[in-house]
Amino acid sequence: MLIIDDEEMVRHLYIDLLEVGGYEVIGAASDGVEGLEIFRSLDPKPDFTIIDYRMPRKNGLDVMREILRIHPGTKIIFASADTSIADEAMRLGAAVFLKKPFTFTELMEALDGFD
C-alpha cells in the first residue's frame, strides 16, 4: 500500500490503521510529485494506493491519472473531504471514493471489497 497525503498526521493515522487491519504500507508521500517518484521506484507496484485530492505541487486527480498510466492494475482509493470531485475521481479510474473523515470500518470495508 502506498499513501499519498500532504497531512503528516493523516499519513501516520493511515499507516497505523492499515497495519492494524493487516495491510503492509510500503511507502508514504507528502505531496503528489513525491508520491509519483515513490510509485515509479517501487517494484513490484503496490496493489492499492490511497490518494488525497488537495496537495502541494500536484493534485490527487493528476497523480491518479499518472499512476494508472504507469500501472493500470493499481487500485486507487481516493480520499477527500471535497465531494465535488467524487464523480470525476471515479470516472478517471478510482476504485473507491472515501469522504474524509471516514472511519476505520469504512476503510477496511473498502479494502475488503477487493478480495
Q: Which residues does the chain have with pLDDT short of 50?
A: none
Q: Taking the model in full, what pTM does it have?
A: 0.93
Measured between alpha carbons, how far apart are the two ends of the chain, in Å?
A: 15
Domain hosting 43: range is 2-112
Paired with 76 in beta bridges are: 49
pLDDT value for 8: 94
Total domain count, the chain: 1
* Unique residue bearing C-alpha cell 476503510: 107
Find, among 89, 105, 22, 84, the residue nearest to 50 by Cα. Answer: 89
pLDDT value for 112: 86
pLDDT value for 30: 96
CATH of the domain at 71: 3.40.50.2300
pLDDT above 90 as % of the chain? 90
pLDDT above 70 as % of the chain? 99
pLDDT value for 115: 63
